[in-house]
């Protein structure tokens, strides 16, 4: 994953895989990106970096986003935990 093209490919493909992998969650592809990005940035990501995120992340942030997205495929508990953190950043928890 040394090039921006490789990163963009993974960045776009893994969320699509997650949509089909977890049909019970009823998340759209952008939900998985939000979850990973918020957890990488440590807050509501779009208040810290410009859109589209994949063009404005550092190399280390890009690697961590891909790592999180890839981990979600194997670890639903991590995904759900990161989702709760993301929702808290966004003030969406009751």
**Cα(19)–Cα(75) distance, integer angstroms:** 14
pLDDT digits (tens, 9 = 90+) for 7-51: 777 888 999 999 999 999 999 999 999 999 999 999 999 999 999
Mean local confidence (pLDDT), 53-62: 92
pLDDT at 88: 98
Who wins on pLDDT, 50 or 2? Answer: 50
Mean pLDDT of the chain: 92
The predicted pLDDT at position 4 comes to: 54
pLDDT at residue 70 in the model: 93
Residue 51 burial by Cβ neighbours in a 10 Å radius (0-12, 13-18, 19+): exposed
């Amino acid at each position: 994953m040394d090039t921006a093209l490789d990163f963009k490919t993974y960045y776009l493909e893994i969320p699509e895989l997650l949509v089909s992998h977890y049909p019970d969650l009823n998340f759209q592809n952008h939900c998985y990106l939000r979850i990973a990005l918020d957890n990488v940035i440590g807050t509501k990501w779009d208040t810290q970096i410009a859109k589209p995120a994949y063009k404005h992340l550092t190399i280390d942030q890009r690697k961590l986003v891909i790592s999180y997205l890839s981990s979600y495929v194997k670890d639903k508990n991590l995904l759900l935990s990161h989702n709760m953190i993301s929702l808290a950043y966004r003030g969406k928890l009751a």
